[in-house]
């Protein structure tokens, strides 16, 4: 079983268009799938799941769609806070990775309020990548290292891969074993760029709002058949 699964929630807009619905309806349907897959991952014992919710490039979408997405994030965070998706109720806790300083202030406050700190061995960590970009995350880490060098705390010759990893949003978490992308697209789109160096990739033609627990099982079974050598024999 993979310890950490990354999921690129893709295909919401196309799902809605195929049904003659506004693109925003696809995002609403996709949010329901997010909750269902989160619950299922906890049930089957996945330690960490990272969902790609909104990228740094998604700001280029039509303003009405961006506004609708921010409204949807807000509504779901309010619901999550009311339900208290902690280890007693939902079996998982929420984390947000990305530059949340760029999102609306009200949403920033909800993000801070919803995140919980308590983790035990029975808890699944759900990372929500919000205003996230893999290259930007690496830049964030490098800047932190540069500041340490400037302060004389670290010599440039002593910088290690562990120093870079420590500055990532996922610091302290295992790298993703498996990354799943529905919708038929065959790329990572700036998702977990550093962490995915040895991730197994699984692509599906199913659009995210149609993605089921059976589809997740199929991806995990495919992963289980692979021989992960990490550069060895």
Provide the pLDDT for residue 80: 67
**pLDDT in the model for residue 113:** 80
Q: Of 132, 36, 53, which is closest to residue 92 (Cα–Cα)?
A: 36
Q: Give the pLDDT of residue 131.
A: 97
Does pLDDT of 90 surpass 80?
no
- Please write the tens of the pLDDT for every residue from 1-26: 999 999 999 999 999 999 999 999 99
For residue 116, what pLDDT band results from cuts at 50, 70 and 90? Answer: low
CA distance linking residue 62 with residue 51, whole number of Å: 22
Asked if pLDDT for residue 81 goes beyond 70, the answer is no
Q: Is the pLDDT assigned to residue 84 strictly greater than 90? A: no
Instruction: Give the torsion through C-alpha atoms of 33, 35, 40, 45, to 10 deg.
Output: 130
Task: Select 4-133+174-224's CATH number: 2.130.10.10, 3.40.50.720, 3.40.50.300, 3.40.1180.10.
Answer: 3.40.1180.10
**Domain boundaries in the chain?**
4-133+174-224
Q: How high is the pLDDT of residue 78? A: 77
Question: pLDDT confidence of 115, banded at 50, 70, 90?
Answer: confident
Catalytic residues: 10, 58
pLDDT bucket at 118, cuts 50 / 70 / 90: very low
């Amino acid at each position: 079983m993979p310890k950490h699964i990354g999921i690129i929630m893709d295909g919401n807009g196309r799902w809605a268009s195929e049904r003659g619905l506004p693109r925003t309806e696809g995002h609403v349907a996709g949010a329901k799938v997010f909750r269902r897959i989160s619950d299922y991952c906890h049930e089957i014992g996945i330690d960490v799941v990272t969902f790609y919710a909104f990228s740094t490039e998604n700001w280029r979408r039509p303003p009405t769609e961006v506004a609708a997405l921010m409204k949807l994030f807000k509504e779901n965070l309010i619901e999550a806070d009311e339900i208290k998706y902690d280890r007693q109720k939902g079996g998982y806790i929420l984390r947000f990775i990305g530059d949340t300083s760029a999102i609306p202030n009200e949403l920033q406050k909800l993000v801070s309020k919803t995140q919980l700190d308590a983790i035990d061995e029975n808890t699944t960590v759900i990372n929500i990548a919000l205003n996230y970009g893999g290259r930007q995350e690496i830049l964030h880490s490098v800047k932190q290292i540069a500041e340490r060098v400037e302060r004389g705390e670290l010599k440039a010759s002593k910088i290690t891969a562990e120093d870079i990893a420590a500055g990532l949003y996922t610091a302290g978490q295992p790298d993703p074993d498996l990354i799943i992308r529905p919708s038929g697209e065959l790329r990572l789109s700036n998702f977990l760029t550093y962490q995915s160096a040895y991730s197994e990739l699984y692509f599906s033609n199913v659009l995210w709002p149609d993605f089921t627990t059976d589809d997740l099982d199929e991806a995990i079974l495919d992963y289980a058949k692979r021989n992960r050598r990490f550069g060895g024999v």
